[in-house]
C-alpha cells in the first residue's frame, strides 16, 4: 500500500507519504517536494545505527551531513540545539538547505525546532520511526526543546515540507515503546472515534504495520 495524504494549514500545505519500505526511496520522494541541494540528517545514536545508512544511500545527488545526538529525552536541550546549529553553520548550510528528522518524537521536536530558527526558518522533512511520532508528533508542525524548568516550554510551530511514514521501521521497536504508542492511539479513539476504539487489536509486526497505516488514513 502506498498513499499520499495532503495536509492543508493556514501557512500552506504538505504531503504525508505512507508506504512500506519508503525509506529506501526517500531521496526520490523528497526530491519531488524540495529543491535543496544540501541536506542534514538529524538522528539519534540508536536510530542512526539502524537506518541512517539506508536514508543516506537514498539521497543521491544531495550533499549530505549526518548529525547524531544521544538517544533519549535529554537531547531536547539548548545544548543539542546549539550543537546541531553549529554543524549546519560549519557545513555552510543556508536558506536553500534542508533538514531531515530521522527518529522518534525527541529527534522530530529537536530537528524541527532547529529548522524553525536556523536562518529564521529552513525546510524540514519528518521521517518518524516510533508509533507516537508516526501517528501524532511528526504531523502538525509542533517543535520544541526542554528547559531546566520544564518540558516543551521553548518551541515554535514549523510545518514540515513533507512527512514520510515507513511502517516497517516499527519492527525494531521494543514492546514497551509499541505499547506506549498504542496507548496514544487508544486515547485518540476514545476522544473522537468510537468505531476505531472497537477495532483496536494487533498482535504481530505485520498487523502493526497495517494498523498504523490505517490509523493515519483515518
Q: Would the pTM count as exceeding 0.85?
A: yes
* Assigned C-alpha cell, 160: 514540515
212 with 134: CB under 8 angstroms? yes
**Residue 180 placed within a domain:** no
**Residue 198 placed within a domain:** no
Query: Residue 182: phi, psi to the nearest 5?
Result: -65, -35
Could you give the number of structural domains in the chain?
Answer: 1
Residue 182: predicted pLDDT: 80
* More confident site: 124 or 198: 124
Domain span at residue 44? 2-171
Residue 210: predicted pLDDT: 65
Grid coordinates 531536547 are at which residue? Answer: 76
Q: 93-114, pLDDT tens digit by residue?
A: 999 999 999 999 999 999 999 9
**Residue 208 placed within a domain:** no
Confidence check: pLDDT of 89 > 80:
yes
**Residue 218 placed within a domain:** no
Taking each helix axis from N to C terminus, what angle separates 105-117 and 78-90, rounded to the nearest 10 degrees? 60
Longest dimension (CA), the chain: 52
Mean pLDDT, rounded, for 210-215? 65
Q: What is the CATH number of the domain that holds 139?
A: 3.40.50.1970
Q: 58-76, pLDDT tens digit by residue?
A: 999 999 999 999 999 999 9
**Residue 42 placed within a domain:** yes
Range of lowest pLDDT (3-12, 17-26, 65-74, 124-133): 3-12
**Residue 189 placed within a domain:** no
Residue 11: predicted pLDDT: 80
In SS3 terms, the chain reads as CEEEEEEEECCEEEEEEEECCHHHHHHHHHHCCCCCCEEEEEEEHHHHHHHHHHHHHHCCCCEEEEEEECCCHHHCCHHHHHHHHHHHHHCCCCCCCEEEEEECHHHHHHHHHHHHHHHHCCCEEEEECCHHHHHHHCCCCEEEEEECCEEEEEEEECCCCEEEECHHHHHHCCHHHHHHHHHHHHHHHHHHCHHHHHCCCCCCHHHHHHHHHHHHHC
| Alpha-carbon gap, residue 57 to 67, rounded angstroms | 15
Residue 105: predicted pLDDT: 96
**Residue 24 placed within a domain:** yes
By residue count, the chain amounts to: 218
* Assigned C-alpha cell, 52: 541512517
Q: 117-176, pLDDT tens digit by residue?
A: 999 999 999 999 999 999 889 999 999 999 999 999 999 999 999 999 999 999 899 888
Where residue 216 falls among pLDDT bands split at 50, 70, 90? low
13: CB partners within 8 A, 6+ apart:
6, 7
Confidence check: pLDDT of 204 > 60:
no
**Residue 207 placed within a domain:** no
Confidence check: pLDDT of 206 > 60:
no
Amino acid at each position: 500500500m502506498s498513499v499520499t495524504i495532503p495536509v492543508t494549514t493556514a501557512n500552506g500545505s504538505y504531503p504525508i507519504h505512507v508506504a512500506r519500505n519508503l525509506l529506501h526511496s526517500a531521496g526520490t520522494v523528497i526530491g519531488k517536494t524540495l529543491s535543496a541541494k544540501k541536506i542534514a540528517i538529524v538522528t539519534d545514536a540508536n536510530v542512526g545505527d539502524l537506518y541512517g545508512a539506508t536514508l543516506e544511500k537514498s539521497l543521491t545527488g544531495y550533499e549530505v551531513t549526518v548529525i547524531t545526538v544521544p538517544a533519549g529525552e535529554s537531547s531536547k536541550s539548548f545544548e543539542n540545539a546549539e550543537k546541531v546549529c553549529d554543524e549546519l553553520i560549519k557545513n555552510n548550510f543556508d536558506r536553500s538547505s534542508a533538514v531531515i528528522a530521522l527518529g522518534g518524537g525527541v529527534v522530530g521536536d529537536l530537528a524541527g525546532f532547529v529548522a524553525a530558527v536556523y536562518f529564521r526558518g529552513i525546510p524540514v522533512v519528518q521521517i518518524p520511526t516510533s508509533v507516537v511520532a508516526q501517528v501524532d508528533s511528526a504531523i502538525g508542525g509542533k517543535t520544541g526543546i526542554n528547559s531546566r524548568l520544564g518540558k516543551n516550554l521553548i518551541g515554535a510551530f514549523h510545518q514540515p515540507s513533507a512527512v514520510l511514514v515507513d511502517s516497517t521501521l516499527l519492527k525494531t521497536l521494543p514492546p514497551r515503546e509499541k505499547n506506549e504508542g498504542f496507548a496514544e492511539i487508544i486515547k485518540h479513539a476514545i476522544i473522537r472515534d468510537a468505531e476505531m476504539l472497537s477495532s483496536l487489536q494487533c498482535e504481530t509486526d505485520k498487523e502493526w504495520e497495517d494498523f498504523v497505516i490505517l490509523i493515519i488514513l483515518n
